[in-house]
Amino acid sequence: MERNKLSVDPTIPNIYQKAREEGISTVFDRYEAQQPQCGFGLTGLCCRHCVQGPCRIDPFGEGPQAGICGATAEVITARNLLRQVAAGAAAHVDHAYDVLEVLEQIAKGTESYSIKDQEKLKQVAFTLGIDTANKTEREIVEEMCQIIYRDFANSGATPMTYLKANSPQERLETWEKLGVLPRNPDREIREALHQTTMGMDADPVNLILKTIRLGLVDGFAGLKLATDLQDIIFGTPQPVVTEANLGVLKEDYVNIIVHGHVPLLSEKIVEWSRKLEDEAKKAGAKGINLAGICCTGNEVLMRQGVPLATNFLAQELAIVTGAVDLMVVDVQCIMPSLAEIAACYHTRLVTTMPIVRIPGAEHVPFTTETADTASQQIVRMAIESFQKRNPAKVYIPREKAKVVAGFSVEAIIKALAKLNPEEPLKPLIDNIVSGNILGVVATVGCNNVKVKHDWFHIELVKELIRNNVLVVTTGCSAHALAKAGFMDPAAVEWTGEGLKAVLTAIGTANDLGGPLPPVLHMGSCVDNSRIGDLVIAVANYLKVSPKDLPVAASAPEYQHEKALSIGTWAVAMGIMTHLGVVPPVAGSPKVTRILTQDAEALIGGKFYVETDPYKAAAGIIEHIKAKRALLNL
């Protein structure tokens, strides 16, 4: 591929060139080798749910219009989508469950982890109706675990407690009326798989309603649960200053990259990298330099100020710098190609989870029991590896950007409270009412090799902030924007006058010595729940539904099934959700119509598909203005 067409990230052309010269193929080359991609798959018209297939539907109406069993385009696309959303939800629920198990271990007295944030513990306990008076921390944690485990054991029709406790009444009523209130999250995922096997549901509407239900499973048993428990164990993020892009790698330090998703591992690596600094110095390094990739990178960036190396699409190129001594991974978004690329350098790739093994990688089992010993071992492996680094193969790009991050809802409220201690949300809302802030958009999700790397995130956000739209962000979108300088307070110059005035006022009131950045980093993909919490808080304050607010979400370059399940949750919350890559349902006009039009009347939110960033920005702004008009703003 032409090296300048791959990405708008300035580090990529040179590193990609290096990979080419060293005979390494990357995601970009493998994408090219896949062309042309199958049109049936792209439009969702292919079914492999039984072994009579594969079956495909002719989108032009000339060939077969039904699979061997009689499943139509509608059934096949809706079924495929439900499976993808169920898989996305499964990933997040499994993530949250891992953290829940550690919380239970804490109640039982494990020494590997502890409660860092008593405030958050009390707040979550309060939400779940736990009386915390006269109870020890351990008793509160125990009771909390019991209540949450009940959701996973619940065999009846009772809706999930965690969802009920955290949702506005109006949403609960809407979901109940539609029959999409989830019960036991594990059961919902199981049932979605059952419902989509051969010879089951053939009603596209029923399948889409189930998809919405699985979106809610993700939103509450995945995202919200994971974020809350992680905050309790590791602390709720507060503003931090750090840096982003491959320029954060350091020539004379041991470079360790944490990649994956669950902070149970990455937090421990941070802890032990700090504790074993002296060993690194003895080995001839100036110290240990940690950097993150993907969402676990976001987790330690938000809580520990660990710099960000790069995002999803450039994970391989990080290794091509030749400067990464060790990359340790847990779950999700880890390209299997990493082992082969690491083998071309001194880089050690370490897997840690029983469900993620990669031939060619070294495996160090990581559990609550082994958390400390495994992390020490991994950090020591990195120090050893540093001594084998080949300077002739090292190329560290210079580019990196300043990043101010750490904007949990708690941190945002604290910053706003400096303007109005009694009603912290009031300054935000007053500025929305006055039009200084036109609306709020969340840009989230991945990179996708089908889109020029980071380009859609950046062009979309440029347009939005220029039009006084406040942007909050998570995931690899946050990475793209961080690398491009949008989280440097200096980026306030790129915004419209109204937004600039607000950001400056908040910055001044907080003695930040400058404005807030125009793009607020709210964390990892599970931290999309923070965005949900913010939306709910504003809606409650105004006594309206989240669906009435001048807000929208966008996943400009999404690739993962998790992004589809998060998007479905956002739609269920009543939020218009833009997708910059066409989802694989286009083969059914009916399914497409339900998701992009009819959904709005039913649930308040809908998907909006637009593959041009400028048109997408215009469409989102139009939506925000329409919502403002309905609120008489």
Answer yes or no: is 344 a known binding residue. no
The item of ligand SF4, ligand NFS, none sharing an interface with residue 333, based on CB under 5 to 8 Å by kind, is ligand NFS
Give the one residue of 52, 127, 387, 434 binding ligand SF4; rule: CB under 6 A: 52
Q: Taking CB under 6 A as the rule, does residue 13 contact ligand SF4? A: no
Q: How far apart are the first and last CA of the chain?
A: 48
Closer residue to ligand NFS (CB): 453 or 627 = 453
CA-CA-CA-CA dihedral for 366, 371, 376, 378, to nearest 10: 20
Residue 56, φ and ψ in degrees, nearest 5: -140, 150
Q: Taking CB under 6 A as the rule, does residue 172 contact ligand SF4? A: no
Give the one residue of 6, 12, 15, 55 binding ligand SF4; rule: CB under 6 A: 55
Residue 548 CA to residue 271 CA, distance in Å, equals: 44
Residue 217 CA to residue 330 CA, distance in Å, equals: 23
Give the one residue of 69, 172, 394, 417 binding ligand SF4; rule: CB under 6 A: 69
Residue 528 CA to residue 171 CA, distance in Å, equals: 18
Q: Taking CB under 6 A as the rule, does residue 446 contact ligand NFS? A: yes
The token duo for 555 is: 């996943």
Answer yes or no: is 38 a known binding residue. yes
The token duo for 466 is: 């220029």
Closer residue to ligand SF4 (CB): 198 or 417 = 198
Q: Taking CB under 6 A as the rule, does residue 56 contact ligand SF4? A: no
Answer yes or no: is 333 a known binding residue. yes
Residue 471 CA to residue 526 CA, distance in Å, equals: 18
Question: How many other C-beta atoms can be found within 10 angstroms of the C-beta atom of residue 436?
Answer: 19
**In sequence order, what are the beta bridge partners of 520?**
472
Q: Given the rule CB under 6 A, which of 7-15, 366-374, 558-566, 590-598 is the region that contacts ligand NFS?
A: 558-566
Residues in 320-349 that interact with ligand NFS by CB under 6 A: 333
CB of 605 to ligand NFS, least distance (A): 20
Give the one residue of 563, 575, 581, 603 binding ligand NFS; rule: CB under 6 A: 563
Residues in 249-288 that interact with ligand NFS by CB under 6 A: 261
- Please, which residues have CB within 8 angstroms of residue 264's CB and are 6 or more apart in sequence? 98, 99, 102, 113, 330, 366, 368, 371
The token duo for 237 is: 């993020």
Residue 293 CA to residue 219 CA, distance in Å, equals: 23
The token duo for 483 is: 């690398």
For residue 221, give the nearest of 142, 298, 165, 302 by alpha carbon: 165
The item of ligand SF4, ligand NFS, none sharing an interface with residue 53, based on CB under 5 to 8 Å by kind, is ligand SF4
CB of 182 to ligand NFS, least distance (A): 21
Answer yes or no: is 50 a known binding residue. yes
Answer yes or no: is 46 a known binding residue. yes
The item of ligand SF4, ligand NFS, none sharing an interface with residue 512, based on CB under 5 to 8 Å by kind, is none
x/- binding map, residues 518-537, to ligand NFS, per CB under 6 A? Answer: -------x------------
Closer residue to ligand SF4 (CB): 69 or 542 = 69
For the sheet containing 348-351, what is the strand order? 362-363, 348-351, 326-329, 254-259, 288-293, 308-310, 240-244, 401-405
Answer yes or no: is 446 a known binding residue. yes
Closer residue to ligand NFS (CB): 332 or 431 = 332
Q: Given the rule CB under 6 A, which of 10-18, 67-75, 337-345, 484-492 is the region that contacts ligand SF4?
A: 67-75
Residue 575 CA to residue 441 CA, distance in Å, equals: 10
- Please, which residues have CB within 8 angstroms of residue 269's CB and are 6 or more apart in sequence? 256, 258, 290, 328, 375, 378, 379
Give binding residues as ranges.
38, 46-47, 50, 55, 69, 261, 295, 333, 446, 476, 525
Interacting residue ranges for ligand NFS, rule: CB under 6 A: 261, 294-295, 312, 333, 445-446, 475-476, 525, 560, 562-563
Interacting residue ranges for ligand SF4, rule: CB under 6 A: 47-50, 52-55, 67-69, 71, 198
